[in-house]
Amino acid sequence: MIAGALGVSFRQALRSVSLTLFPLAFISLFTWASAGSTSGNTSDPVRASAWLFLGAHLIPLAVPSGKLTVLPLLAVIYPMWAIRRGVPTVEAAFSKINGARLVYSFWYASLCELLALISIHNGISANLYLTPIMTFLIAMIATLKFDRRHNRTFYFSLYLFSIVLGFAALAFAFSLYSHWSDLKSISIVLSGGVVGGILLTLLQLLYLPNIALATLSYLTGIGFSFGSHSTINASHVVLGQVPALPFVSALPTGIHKELSYTVGLWGLFFILIFVFTRRGEKSILRLTRIATSQGIKFFLVVAAVSYFSAGELLTSNLNPVGVIWWRFVAYLAAAFFCAAIVVLYIPALVRRVLHHG
């Protein structure tokens, strides 16, 4: 019985890995063939597909010139979908759902670690310590069943944050359009051909959440970084060497001091969340408990997303690239506490004074 359940979970984990790895292997082989390589050795594109697979799980890669830790956030959705495909079969083989999730995630992480080991080549390798940890956590999150009834405030916060990110993405698109001539010049210089152009466009789309988060940080006065000793915010723009990538043409080059005050919009963001939390609830103690528990979950997600959205881009000169996660979270935490005082505690204090008066 136990051996059968373990076998089922292993087969489903292998199937989930294959659902992500095989399409990436096809893309790598097709790109290698269309590039007109003089080498007949297909091991290079096969290893490249393994690196793409591990990168899709947000696992840092070491390269000869440095590290690649800025990885596309949107790419993780596909492995999570592949993992969820095998969940029903695994759960049917186990008597306990949590046990099924643990065993399934363990097999998935083990297969990913094996893939990381055999893909080491020419100074390019995935972080062997983080690979099993990251893939295990991703598998556990992907197999998790969320209870929306008791987490309404948390989900409302995420929906509201997603809407704000969407507006930031539109602002980035407008900036890209405003610098169309620079975008065109960079694209001509790259001249990757039809296949290369399609893959480059797809890669930039996968990086869109990273870009939207950095844009949101800039629009709300917090700012972000694009390389060592760089500063990009409303009051200062200090840039060093930047890579010739199309999305770089949308980087701000001027000063917009009026954006220094837009950091206050985060206060409005959390005020809306607290107003939503207060609906039908009168007890200040219960409101505090709900706000604390749901707020911790929200900030953990924001901290994780902002942390993984930034990092080193192939060389130490491009480190960090993206939002400074602790600064971003600190600004949001300050706005959270200010909004809590305005929406929850000042009205409660006024009601108490009036009641005793």
Same domain, 115 and 233: no
Beta-bridge partners for 224? 232
CA distance linking residue 76 with residue 84, whole number of Å: 13
- Cis peptide bond prior to 243, omega within 30° of 0: no
- 130 CB contacts (<8 Å, ≥6 apart)? 59, 60
Same domain, 118 and 195: no
Domain end point (choices 123, 142, 161): 142
In a domain, 92, yes or no: yes
In a domain, 296, yes or no: yes
Residue 38 above 70 pLDDT? Answer: no
Question: Coil, strand, or helix at residue 311?
Answer: strand
- Cis peptide bond prior to 320, omega within 30° of 0: yes
Same domain, 293 and 346: yes
Span 120-156, pLDDT tens digits: 988 889 999 999 999 999 999 998 877 677 788 899 9
Same domain, 199 and 340: yes
Same domain, 10 and 120: yes
In a domain, 284, yes or no: yes
Domain end point (choices 93, 122, 142): 142
Domain that holds residue 252: 152-356
Span 278-335, pLDDT tens digits: 876 667 888 888 889 999 999 999 999 999 999 998 888 888 898 999 999 999 999 9
In a domain, 37, yes or no: no
Same domain, 287 and 185: yes
Domain end point (choices 142, 175, 209): 142
Same domain, 8 and 131: yes
Instruction: Name the band, by pLDDT with cuts 50, 70 and 90, for residue 196.
Output: confident
Closest by Cα among 114, 128, 117 to 10: 114
State the total domains in the chain: 2
* Per-residue confidence (pLDDT) for residue 72, from 0 to 100: 93
Which residue is it, tokens 């065993």? Answer: 103
Question: Coil, strand, or helix at residue 357?
Answer: coil
Same domain, 100 and 133: yes
Residue 103 above 70 pLDDT? Answer: yes
